[in-house]
Amino acid sequence: MNRAPAVLRVGTRGSALAQAQTASVVQILRERSADLRIETVIIRTSGDRQQREVVGAFVKELQEALLRGEIDVAVHSLKDLPAQGVGGLTVAAVPPRADARDVLLSRGEPFAGLPRGAHVGAGSVRRSAQLKRLRADLQILPLVGNVDTRIRKLREGQYDAVVLAAAGLQRLGFLETPEESFLMMPEGSHLHLHVFDFAQMLPAPGQGALALECRADDQQTIACLQTVDHPETRLAVTAERSVLHALGGGCRVPIAAYAEVQGSHLHLTALVAMPEGDMVITDRIDGDASQAEALGEQLAHRLRTLGASHLLGTTS
């Protein structure tokens, strides 16, 4: 029988959002194992230093710390994990997913009322392409920094609106439910809030979910982490990441995917687009949830036959 480790060292990035995510995981772990001692270790990543979103930039140093034995668990935003795993490491648990949708915050007008040519900040080509598909008149500008920084830039007038993940706003306590029309600021002011439904904007694979990664041979830690694993979320993100892996996508080509698990069935939608949003290929597949990875591969193949290979610069 595997016993829980005497002390579980949990590694996290130093951003407010990363620490909030980690705190939520630590709380659940303590509820599952009251006697478990947990230490949080903050590790600064290259993504934090460079303030840019590159695949793996927010996880590399955490994974290296795991391999060196400096921490026992790394808490990642699952969408930051490259589709290809690292030898010697395993994702031992995927806790219940938060809201996977994207939201738009604006100072003066709601999304539909933004003036032509409004400056909208978007931190990924996936968001940029889908915004362009919804409103080709908008001026989409790069957006970097943590959630607080992005909101500050909006309020300072550097942008007319910005697009953020609903999950991040909720985990930081800015937002109770995305069904609200406004985001209230501490001093009493507010920002307009528009929630994109999945038909308007598909999220990044794994958005809103967390990944608890540890060493593949650390059976005690694996057993401890599996107490917080959420099978439905794991199946959903497995399908989404399977699409990404099969397409060979990175940061340069907009790829989006979202899966829902209902009982034994899985419903998966994915999208590949030109960065300017002038060509968008999307498709959906339904099947047995236990075949999540295979369904993702099948959908990726279908997207390629519909023209995604051209967008990705590869052949089917």
DSSP string, 207-267: TT-EEEEEETT-HHHHHHHGGG--HHHHHHHHHHHHHHHHHT--SSS-EEEEEEEETTEEE
Please compute Rg for the chain using Cα positions: 20
d(CA 149, CA 290): 40
Number of other residues whose CB lies within 10 A of the CB of residue 36: 17
Q: List C-alpha distances in Å: 313 to 84, 258, 274.
A: 20, 23, 11
Catalytically active residues are: 80
Q: In DSSP terms, which residues pair with 267 in a beta bridge? A: 260, 286
Would the CA dihedral through 207, 203, 236, 67 be positive or negative? negative
Task: Specify burial of residue 232 (Cβ count, 10 A radius: 0-12, 13-18, 19+).
Answer: middle
Q: Given the structure tokens 């996880």, which residue do they identify? A: 59
CB within 8 Å of 184: residues ≥ 6 apart: 190
Number of other residues whose CB lies within 10 A of the CB of residue 31: 11
